[in-house]
Amino acid sequence: MAEPMLETRALTRRFGGLRAVNNVSLTFEVGVVHAILGPNGAGKTTVINLLSGDLPPTSGTIRFRGRDITARPVQRRVRMGIGRSYQKTNILPELTCLDNCRLGALSRLPGGLARIRPSRAARRQVQARAEHALALCGLEARADTIAATLSHGEKRQLEIGMMMATEPTLLLLDEPLAGMGQEESRRVTELLRRLAADHTMILIEHDMDAVFAIAERITVMVNGAVLETGSVEQIRASATVREAYLGEEAEP
Ligand SMILES: Nc1ncnc2c1ncn2[C@@H]1O[C@H](COP(=O)(O)OP(=O)(O)OP(=O)(O)O)[C@@H](O)[C@H]1O
């Protein structure tokens, strides 16, 4: 079997006495959209924080394409190809959309944002990556628009654009549809489907319609632990999952 994109072994994160993530061993295959579901407080965002490097684990390991990255800081992981979008939008509101994407692209360079004066070749690369990312997230017509003036949905699109400017192979998406109206959700779900064609994704999302439309594998977490992992059909049909989390509305 092909080497997985990402693997966790016995990943655990404690906050004082609370095991927010408890002994989680998961495999994320190359090219697959893998959603993590679970009730509030299940530990989903903490898992993403551990995978992105925003939080160190208490114990356990993370391997990315076969390499142990458990102790690597966020920027090293970004340069290896792990991109992340946050639950709360992370854009710089006073900058234009293109400049926000330039920042994303800059963070991928060796030395990252600490490189105050990148070379001319590096600047050209940053510009090209930023323009490409803006097109990928569907905001090419908004290049010179100040980010603060975007709608909520467009801000989330821009956040995805900033992540894409880092040229990730693995996308970590924490509730990309949060707070969106129906039309915005539809647009961003479509965007995610397009990106899923040539990227691996780990997705946290409460919008079940979107999850069932995009995801191929689903892990359900409860109280920091994995309850079940399977295909969309298996999870929809699982009595354990339905009882613990999905409720009647998700019956097949
Ligand atoms: N920095 C922190 N300090 C202390 N406790 C934390 C911290 N971050 C998360 N927790 C706790 O860890 C548990 C898991 O939180 P987490 O945010 O990972 O859950 P979640 O499944 O993402 O929930 P939601 O769907 O509400 O975002 C919760 O009980 C939360 O209060």
pTM of the model: 0.91
Q: Whose CA is nearest to atom 11 of ligand 1?
A: 20
Residue from 19, 36, 44 whose mutation best tests the ligand 1 pocket (most atoms within 8 A of CB): 44
Which residue ranges have their beta carbon within 6 Å of ligand 1?
A: 15, 18, 20, 38, 40-46
Output the CA 47–ligand 1 centroid distance in Å: 10
Residues 6+ apart with CB under 8 A from 230: 217, 218, 238
Q: Whose CA is nearest to atom 12 of ligand 1?
A: 20
What confidence score (pLDDT) does residue 15 get? 97
Assign 3-state DSSP to the chain and report helix, strand, coil percentages, each to 5.
Answer: 40, 25, 35
pLDDT in tens, 199-246: 999 999 988 888 999 999 999 999 999 999 999 999 988 888 888 776
What confidence score (pLDDT) does residue 209 get? 86
Strand partners, 251: none
Output the CA 42–ligand 1 centroid distance in Å: 7
Complex confidence, ipTM? 0.96
Residue from 37, 45, 172, 207 whose mutation best tests the ligand 1 pocket (most atoms within 8 A of CB): 45
Q: Whose CA is nearest to atom 17 of ligand 1?
A: 45
CA-to-CA distance for 236 and 229, rounded, in angstroms?
11
What confidence score (pLDDT) does residue 250 get? 46
Q: For every one of its 252 residues, what pLDDT tens digit does the chain have, with 9 covering 90 and above?
A: 689 999 999 999 999 999 999 999 999 999 999 999 999 899 999 999 999 999 999 999 999 999 999 999 998 999 999 999 876 778 899 999 999 999 989 887 766 555 566 677 878 888 999 999 999 999 999 999 999 999 988 999 999 999 999 999 999 999 999 888 888 899 899 999 999 999 999 999 988 888 999 999 999 999 999 999 999 999 988 888 888 776 545 444
Please give the class, per CATH, of domain 1-74+205-252: alpha beta
Sheet holding 217-222, edge to edge: 82-85, 170-174, 200-204, 33-37, 217-222, 225-231
Strand partners, 28: 6
Angle CA 99–101–102, to nearest 5: 60
What confidence score (pLDDT) does residue 251 get? 47
